[in-house]
Amino acid sequence: MKLLVLWVVVSGLAACGGRYEEPGSGGSGTSAPSTDSEGGKKSDSSGTTVTLPQQDLGVCVPGFERVTDPGRSCNWLTEVGVCFDTKDAACDCICPSSHDSVCFSNFDDGPGSATLVYCT
């Protein structure tokens, strides 16, 4: 249940400027307090806020399509089937540069694991 709540909080974050935030990677970032339906801050009974590290998007260097090169090691995989060597490279290509977004994935399972990467 806590994972679902975190996903909802992370999925709902947006602003502007071509940056992405990565949940769970540690480091400095901005906090994302809850808001009510009127857009005001809502108090959290636990007294904590979610802190997400921020990073500017880099230049998109296209990956390769997994179906066209199935023998090649695929470390990070997008929903449309494009592979990248690093998660940052995948985020650079799938996250919009017109506004802030959240880039996230499951935990890295190691080289060639084709860990799915998403951007909201």
Cβ count near 78 (within 10 Å): 20
Q: Which of 64, 83, 67 is nearest to 75 (CA)?
A: 83
* pLDDT attached to residue 50: 76
CA-CA distance, 27 to 101, in Å (whole number)?
17
Residue 88: give the domain boundaries. Answer: 2-42+49-119
Instruction: Tell me the backbone φ, ψ of residue 69, rounded to 5 degrees.
Output: -140, 65
Helix, strand, coil distribution of the chain in percent, nearest 5: 15, 30, 55
What tens digit of pLDDT does each residue of 5-62 get? 333 333 333 333 355 555 554 444 444 444 444 444 444 556 678 777 788 889 999 9
User: Which is nearest to 63 in space by CA: 38, 88, 28?
Assistant: 88
Structural domain total, the chain: 1
State pLDDT tens for residues 61-104.
Answer: 999 999 999 999 999 999 999 999 999 999 999 999 888 899 99
Cα four-point dihedral sign 37, 39, 40, 44: positive
96 residue type, one letter: P
